[in-house]
Structures are given as structure tokens and as C-alpha cells.
Amino acid sequence: MRPEGEGLVGLADGEVRSGEGAGSAPGPARMLSNLNEWLWQERFWLPPNNSWAQLEDRDGLVYAHPRDLLASLPLALALVVVRIVFERFVGLPLSRWLGVRDRSRRQVRPNAVLEKHFLVEGPRPEESQLALLAAQCGLTLRQTQRWFRVRRNQDRPCLTQKFCEASWRFVFYLCSFVGGACVLYHESWLWAPVNCWDNYPEQALKPALYWWYLLELSFYISLVMTLPFDIRRKDFKEQVVHHFVTILLITFSYSANLLRIGSLVLLLHDASDYLLEACKMFNYTRFRLACDALFVVFSLVFFYTRLVLFPTQILYTTYYESIINRGPFFGYYFFNALLGLLQLLHVFWSCLILRMLYNFTRKGRMEKDIRSDVEETDSSEGEPDAEHPPLKNGAVRGPRAAPEDAEGPRSRAAGRLANGHTPAS
């Protein structure tokens, strides 16, 4: 068994003794102690015929201990603070310098009934609900639909916010990749992953690898902390799964002393992540050529690292080479299951990138990120399109004559401007 206090939920000896003498029913301290002992059974974490005693610090050698990861929690909070300061004093001025401009958005006219439905029931009411709300507010169906469209647009993140978030992630991923490459460059297992299993699990921990690992774990914990405030894209659920799988992989690989193979997984992912964030940053600016070039480079690096190197080098060595001289154990199956789930996410994102590449080859330039929502216009949801189909030259046919009291003078003015022209000021 792992010695007392060695696990993440280790208890003090005094607490355990007080729980033992409490009487017939075990106290919370005793129950927690039993859970701690069960969780840290060697058969879960280590190969057969290995024990925690082999991983005790001795003779100047330091080994990975799960309790070391507790430092990631305050470090994650510190990263959140650093991110806020960075986005305010670096990201925002940089966005202005690069010419990022937010579109001016119409503000909805205050309406307590519609606002309550928007916040409680959801931003996209059904047709029957729209008709009922219109009757309650004394509005037409078209006016109610337009109110919800404009209200949804108000909640969408602006370009400046997107740029600041991308710039923070770009800086971290770039520093992490460069730092990780420096840490691993002279290690044999970077060039031959089979060396990850030499003398496993008795592999000493180097300080540089520990700090890099701790920083990566803290960063992903900080991303989970800020999920409610970050920009929500269409792959939000997949991003949440990715964050939790990454945190589990880092935590488990450190606790089971699988640091060598874990470090290769981190480096492979960082190799393309900073390129993606750089591509986003230029996509929000007017530097279209730089954006298009970065997108092509990112796509090639992503496909090579996630669809070639990851399955042929990482998955192969963890599935087959890791058990050549030792039998499988629970940690072997758990670790490989997490890596397999990560690979499924790689395939999912590869499909999205292929769609963007297809659009890129057709139009000659990178379009918007297909994971992002776009602002809705008055022609969204197909409302006017059904009544006023486009002409051959792409203009919109104006509405036919309607009674004056149908929508008032503003409707008649909108009808005269339906061809897309604006009056001279």
C-alpha cells in the first residue's frame, strides 16, 4: 500500500486514530482513510511485482509523487490572474494596433416579457411561442422575431474578445512547446519512444520535466475554471471532454510515473496548438494572406502530429511495446483508453479542418472558423427570403404593395430600401 499521506487525499495519523475509537459506526476520517488505501493499491497504478517502496526518494534520486500535483491548484488560479492582466494590457492594445475593430450592434428595445423568455426559456423560441409572445407584447410576428435576433447578436462575443483569448493561448502554447522541446531535446525517448519503458517504473524525475508537467496541468485546470466565461463554439462539448481527458492523462501519468510517454503526448499537441491560435489572431485582422498561409501550415502539422505520429508512435508503443517485458495491469488499460478517446477527438477535429480546407480550395481564402457562430441579419432564419426571393444579379426583390397599416411607415421605408441601397446622407 502507498504510505499514509502519499496520496492526494492522504490523512494525518491522528485523524485516523480518532476515527477508529469513535464507536461502532466508522467516522468520516476512517471512511476517507479506507478510500485512500483502496485508491492507491499498487495493482491499479504499477505493473505486477512492483511496489510504491521502489519509488521512494533515495540516494539523491527523486521520483514523482502524486502529492506534488497539489501545487497545480494555486498555480491554476495564478494563471487565471495572469490571463486577465495579459488580455487587458497586452491583448487589447495589440488588437487595436493590428486594426481589429468590433462591429457596431443594434440594441434591442427593452421588453420585460421577451427578456424573461430569452433568459429563462431560451434564445430560440418555437413558432407557436413567438406568436403567443407577440400577442402578449402587442407586436407583430416579424417584430418579435427581429427582437430575438438582435438580442442573440448582443450576447455573441466581439472580435476584440476573440482576439484577446486567442492571443493568450497563443503565447502559452508557444512558450510551452518551446520549453518542452528544450526539456526533451537531449532525452533518448524523444527520438525513440520505445525507450520510455526502459527500467519502468523506476525512472527518476528531473526538475525541468516536473515544472513543465506542472505548468501544463495548471493551464488546463485554468481553462476548466474559465469555461463559463470563455467564447462558446459549436464544439464546446468536445472541448470540455478534451480538457477533462487531458487533466486525467496528466494526473494519472504523473502518479504512475508514466512521465516519459506523457511528455511526448504533451509535446505533440503543443506543436500545432500555437499555430491554430496564431491563425485565429490573423483571421480577426486584415492580414488575410498571413492567415491563409498559417492555416495551411497548421493543417499540415495537425494532420502529421495527430493522425500520423500519434497513432504510429504513441499509441503503438503504449499498446504493444509497454508490455513486452511486463504484464498488463489496470493502469495500462485505463491509460490506453484515455489515449484512444483523445484520438477520437483528433479524428473529429480533422473532419472539421478538412471541411475548412475544402472551402479554402474553392474560394481561395480561409473563411470563418466553422465552429464559430455568426451574427444573424434581418434575413436570417429564412423569413424574408421566402417572401422576397433574390434576383439573378443577387439583389433582393422588394415587397409588393401592402396596406399602410400593415407595419407602419417604417415598413414602407424598408420596402423602398430592400434592394440594398441606402439613401444619401
Which of 340, 363, 386 is the last residue before a domain boundary?
Answer: 363
DSSP-derived secondary structure letter, 242: H
Give the Cα separation of 256 and 209 in Å (integer): 15
Q: Are 95 and 164 in contact (CB under 8 A)?
A: yes
Which of 155, 172, 188 is the last residue before a domain boundary?
Answer: 155
Give the Cα separation of 304 and 292 in Å (integer): 19
180 in the same domain as 147: no
Q: Does a structural domain hold residue 410?
A: no
Give the model confidence (pLDDT) of 293-329 as tens digits.
Answer: 999 999 999 999 999 999 999 999 999 999 988 889 9
Q: Does a structural domain hold residue 399?
A: no
Q: Does a structural domain hold residue 133?
A: yes
223 in the same domain as 127: no
204 band by pLDDT with thresholds 50, 70 and 90: very high
Lowest mean pLDDT among 73-77, 109-113, 283-287, 383-387: 383-387
Q: What is the mean pLDDT of residues 10-38?
A: 62
Give the Cα separation of 191 and 187 in Å (integer): 8
358 in the same domain as 227: yes
User: Is cis: bond before 409, omega within 30 of 0?
Assistant: no
Lowest mean pLDDT among 16-25, 143-152, 342-351, 356-365: 16-25
Whole-number pLDDT of residue 366: 61
Q: Are 10 and 37 in contact (CB under 8 A)?
A: no
Q: What is the CATH number of the domain that holds 120?
A: 1.10.10.60
**This prediction's pTM:** 0.76
165 in the same domain as 132: no
Q: What is the residue range of 140's domain?
A: 112-155
Q: Does a structural domain hold residue 409?
A: no
80 in the same domain as 147: no
